[in-house]
Amino acid sequence: MWIPVIDVLICKGCGDCAQACPDNAITVVDKKAAIDYNGCTCCGVCNNICRVGALAIKTLEMPPILNEGVQLTTLKNEVKQLKQDLKEMRKDMRRLR
Ligand code: SF4
Ligand code: SF4
């Protein structure tokens, strides 16, 4: 996943990116562009528009925990099964007493 990011130290506030954004997700306040990530659809239109290099596309790293979702589900099922087995063993032990 990627998102557009503005370097406010470089931004000159020209507004080119705000004009180009089809979702009106960029506004210029006090000569600095700001992205409303609630409105940004990551369409990529603003990429390469900035003439001073203040706007760039950054790739977000997925937290490892999300990449391991399948393994976590498997682990969860194994724990569930172990709990069930333990319950059955306790029942058997009670019967034997
Ligand atoms: S195009 Fe670049 S300099 Fe102009 S407002 Fe956008 S980020 Fe700032
Ligand atoms: S990626 Fe698209 S929606 Fe998001 S700020 Fe840039 S032009 Fe606007």
The conformation of residue 53, written as its DSSP 8-state character, comes to S
Judge whether residue 3 has pLDDT over 80. Answer: yes
Which residues have CB under 8 Å from 41's CB, separation 6+? 23, 25
Judge whether residue 67 has pLDDT over 80. Answer: no
- The more confidently predicted of residues 95 and 53 is 53
Distance 51 CA to ligand 2 centre (A): 16
Ligand 2: which of 28, 35, 43, 58 to mutate, judged by most atoms within 8 Å of the beta carbon? 43
Q: 3.30.70.20, 3.30.310.50, 2.40.30.10, 3.40.50.300: which CATH number matches 2-59?
A: 3.30.70.20
Q: Considering the chain, what percentage of its residues have pLDDT values greater than 90?
A: 56
Ligand 1: which of 3, 26, 36, 52 to mutate, judged by most atoms within 8 Å of the beta carbon? 52
Residue 45 has a pLDDT of 94
pTM for the predicted model, two decimal places: 0.68
Q: Where are the domains of the chain?
A: 2-59, 64-96
Instruction: Report, in this order, helix, strand and coil percent for the chain, each rounded to 5.
Output: 40, 20, 45
Mean confidence (pLDDT) of the chain? 88
Distance separating alpha carbons of residues 48 and 16, to the nearest angstrom: 11
